[in-house]
Amino acid sequence: MRATIVCGLGFGDEGKGETIAYLSRRVRPDLVVRFNGGAQAAHHVKHNGVRFRFSQFGSGSFEGVPTLLSSFTFVDPLLLIDEAERLKGAGLASPFSLLHVDAEAVTLTAFHAYVNRIEELSRAEDRHGSCGLGIGVAFQDERSGAPTMRFADLYDVSLLRRRLQQIREHQIERARSVMGAAPLSKQIEELFTDLCEPAMPEFLVQRYTAVARLVLCVDGLAKIRESSTLLFEGAQGMLLDMEAGFFPHVTPSHTGPRNAERLLDAAGFTGERRTLGVIRTLPTRHGHGPFPTEDPALCFERDNNLEPGFQGNFRVGHADRLLLRYALDCMRPDGIVLTHTDYRPDRICVAYKEQSGALVESIADLPEPKADALRRCRPVYESVEISPPGDVIALYEERMLDRNPVVFASDAPGRFIERSSMILR
């Protein structure tokens, strides 16, 4: 019995999807478990020469591996339909036959998304970097005891109708409180009009019941107990973690292995566990938030995630030893997956300089609030020279990874070098 947990060590977009797809081919798992986040994930996999973006389905789907959306995920039924249709177009005949959703998974609605976007747009220049799909709103509502829908509610039409009406009324009041305290743009007014559309609840009832006829609602822990080889597919990255990240530019979930470990513990899993941290040689960030080594002159032509969308621009920077070692300390992985090794950095950030001129050599040395302090820092670089491609891996192991071993390296979509038998033995 073995469970492999795959998490990002950056701000997301590290290569988790390709890693899961590759491991699905190599270890033939019984199940891929999504254990945080929701439809805001964008895990790109190259299949039959064509790029595909996974959001809620696991990235092992093209290998025929079933997906479990666990109780820690936020499920968007409408986007499930869209993703299933795209999977069919990419050659997967029956996507929903591979999907299992935990009965307790919080379920998103259009109302959550409208309010999420109203709140984010009202922040103007102080936006948090939200994807605008309503996950943060639903997370806050669940914690506060506000009306919340679980995936099991989709199978009881009268309960579903009542839940949607309760959520709609609550979100209208929440939006009004935001709009009363901020200048209104045309975009915010249009979102509020859509939120108040009286026909929306019944439209969602029809669509959600259609999803319920297609998707198997399960006891997620029982599904884990049935499996002997598991892959856990994380979303976002350690630097966006709700506790370890740099508030307010965080995601409302634990992005490290914590949720996966909790699921394994609750299921009574007694097999071997391994955590892989995925990082790329060219750090990136989507949307707002501090990024000390950002360099607009940098661009990597084969990047999958260049579309800005609601979240904001796709940003690129130089290798940052401080942020990487901070993420490693938070996650404590058993091994590293290093992606984009065809890119050869010419410098690495080894320290920051504060406005006062003081040198900072560790994230722990930054004053609170760390997001503001990080935004004010300027990188201190050391030049590096790399000739053979293998030297990129050596550079990271010697200068960046604090003795954490690179067990897999990838220099192209779907192509991996196996440097350890830790996961495959």
Residues carrying an active site annotation: 13, 43
How many CA within 13 A on the CB side of residue 42? 17
229 marked among binding-site residues: no
Task: Choose among 424, 293, 400: nearest CA to 341.
Answer: 400
320 has binding-site annotation: no
165 annotated to bind ligand: no
CA quadruple 362, 291, 239, 400: dihedral positive or negative? negative
If DSSP codes are grouped into helix, strand and coil, which group holds residue 53?
A: strand
Is 236 annotated to bind a ligand? Reply is yes
End-to-end Cα spacing for the chain = 12
Task: Please tell me whether 153 is known to bind a ligand.
Answer: no
The angle, 0 to 180 degrees and rounded to 10, between the axes of the packed helices 135-144 and 157-179 is 100
Check whether 19 is labelled as a binding-site residue.
no
- Residue 335 assigned as binding residue: no
Q: Residue 22 belongs to what H/E stretch?
A: helix 16-27
Binding site annotation covers 275? Answer: no
Q: Say whether 17 counts as a known binding-site residue.
A: yes
Contact 66, 99 (CB under 8 A): yes
Beta bridge partners, 360, equal 352
Residue type, 179: M
Match 């890119």 to its residue by tokens: 343
CA–CA distance, 315 with 67 (Å, rounded to integer):
30
Question: Any residues with CB less than 8 A from the CB of 179 and at least 6 apart, and which?
Answer: 118, 122, 188, 192
Per DSSP, the three-state class of 315 is: strand
Confirm or deny that 340 is annotated as ligand binding.
Answer: yes
Query: Residues forming the annotated binding site?
Result: 12-18, 236, 251, 340-342
Query: Residues forming the annotated binding site for IMP?
Result: 13-16, 236, 251
Query: Residues forming the annotated binding site for Mg(2+)?
Result: 13
Query: Residues forming the annotated binding site for GTP?
Result: 12-18, 340-342
